[in-house]
Amino acid sequence: MEIIIKASVAEAQDEAARIMAAQIRTKPASVLGLATGSTPIGVYQLLAEFHRAGRLDFSKVITFNLDEYVVLTPNHPQAYREFMRQHLFSKVNIAADRIHFPDGLAADVPAHCEDYEAAIRRVGGIDLQLLGIGSDGHIGFNEPSSSLASRTRIKTLTPRTVKDNARFFPHANEVPRHVITMGVGTIMDAHACLMLATGESKAEAVAGMVEGPITADLPASILQMHPRCKLVLDEPAAAKLRRAEYYRWIYENKPIWQRV
């Protein structure tokens, strides 16, 4: 895992956006796995700015979002499809038929989940998967105890995640309890992963993920087994890493040809 510690949230977002932009420039028909939540908003803003400035073309990009709430209508203000429309898709030149989401309204959820996996396979897999991390160590919505080999399926959120997400809803009892999420195994199949984590509320999960044992109790820890995973942090999110100085040393001494 490559750990990149930046001085501020803005610098961390900038680094993550530059890594994503480099992916799209290197392979214009990139398949991107995308994440929602408050963390990636700044990254999407920067990607939209690069596009507006004529420096980034999304016309060939294909996207698959990690997860979607079950039972929220697609245009519900908190549906992740709507989140992505607002923060990225309405601001870049990506065609609607290249955008994919789990369908929280699917009548046959298991069949839909298999179709989602098949759609990812059909385009050759995800080139770069953007990830956040939950304060309980989830990736996608793979909560603690999720099988580390899991595929796209329905999950019940933990009370802690429901509480974390309540800030986006008028009342806590409106937060959906169920989601459809790519599995941990689905995420691990991505050719590369990029996690962005900022703020002290993530410090414990980040330390467990990087320096703790690989365990379904902290699903993000499986990323230790991913051969191409970058983790971009701000200082507060990195505060509990024992080897932070070493990670900084590695980054500062990176060969020029390895830099973005």
Which residues are catalytic, by number?
Answer: 67, 136, 138, 143
Our CB check for ligand PGA shows the closer of 94 and 195 to be: 195
Compute the least distance from the CB of residue 60 to ligand PGA, in Å. 27
Interface residues toward ligand PGA, by CB under 6 A? 37-39, 132-134
Question: Which residues contact residue 227 at a Cβ distance below 8 angstroms, ignoring those fewer than 6 apart?
Answer: none
Q: Do the Cβ atoms of 33 and 139 come closer than 8 Å?
A: no
Give which of 67, 78, 223 is closest to 141, Cα–Cα.
67
The strand pairing partners of 3, in sequence order, are: 231
Compute the least distance from the CB of residue 37 to ligand PGA, in Å. 3
Our CB check for ligand PGA shows the closer of 16 and 24 to be: 16
Task: Tell me the C-alpha distance between 171 and 194, whole Å.
Answer: 32
Task: Tell me the C-alpha distance between 40 and 243, whole Å.
Answer: 25
Compute the least distance from the CB of residue 95 to ligand PGA, in Å. 27
Our CB check for ligand PGA shows the closer of 57 and 168 to be: 168
Our CB check for ligand PGA shows the closer of 16 and 98 to be: 16
Compute the least distance from the CB of residue 66 to ligand PGA, in Å. 8
Question: Which residues contact residue 62 at a Cβ distance below 8 angstroms, ignoring those fewer than 6 apart?
Answer: 29, 30, 31, 32, 98, 100, 123
